[in-house]
Amino acid sequence: QSALTQPPSASGSPGQSVTISCTGTSSDVGGYNYVSWYQQHPGKAPKLMIYDVSNRPSGVPDRFFGSKSGNTASLTVSGLQAEDEADYYCSSYAGSNNPYVFGTGTKVTVL
């Protein structure tokens, strides 16, 4: 099972929006509505930001929006803030025997 493909980097100015893609296959992203997104600040553990493609856990700002089309999922962060600068990883369910496939990660820079 190969890792999901993400762009290495993305950036935006404060207040702007940035969108990160996560491309998989019909065996993972395209086959299930179980895509998650994690935010990771340097030296910290990942934090769940989106689950089941578009659901936000309690406490996650509604500036974070998840979506999916075919084999590609996306995370959009609107109204960028300095605290949003971090690495972001997508993850997808890929079947009962391989429940977690992570993406390659995207570093988001707030200019």
Partner 1 sequence: QITLKESGPTLVKPTQTLTLTCVFSGFSLSTSGVGVGWIRQPPGKALEWLALIYWDDDKLYTPALESRLTITKDTSKNQVVLTMTNMDPLDTATYYCAHRPVAGRGRFDYWGQGTLVTVSS
C-alpha atoms less than 13 angstroms from C-alpha of 38 in its C-beta half-sphere = 17
The residues binding partner 1 (CB under 8 A) are 1, 3, 32, 34-36, 38, 45-48, 51-52, 57, 89, 91-93, 97-105
Measured from the CB atom, the residue of 34 and 65 that comes closer to partner 1 is: 34
In the complex, what is the shortest distance from the CB of residue 46 to partner 1, in angstroms, rounded to a whole number?
A: 6
Can you point out the beta strands (E) in 6-69?
9-12, 18-23, 35-40, 47-50, 64-69
Of 96, 64, 69, nearest to 80 by C-alpha is 64
In the complex, what is the shortest distance from the CB of residue 69 to partner 1, in angstroms, rounded to a whole number?
A: 18
Measured from the CB atom, the residue of 12 and 103 that comes closer to partner 1 is: 103
DSSP-derived letter for residue 61 is -
Measured from the CB atom, the residue of 23 and 36 that comes closer to partner 1 is: 36
Residue reference for tokens 């496939």? 101
In the complex, what is the shortest distance from the CB of residue 2 to partner 1, in angstroms, rounded to a whole number?
A: 11
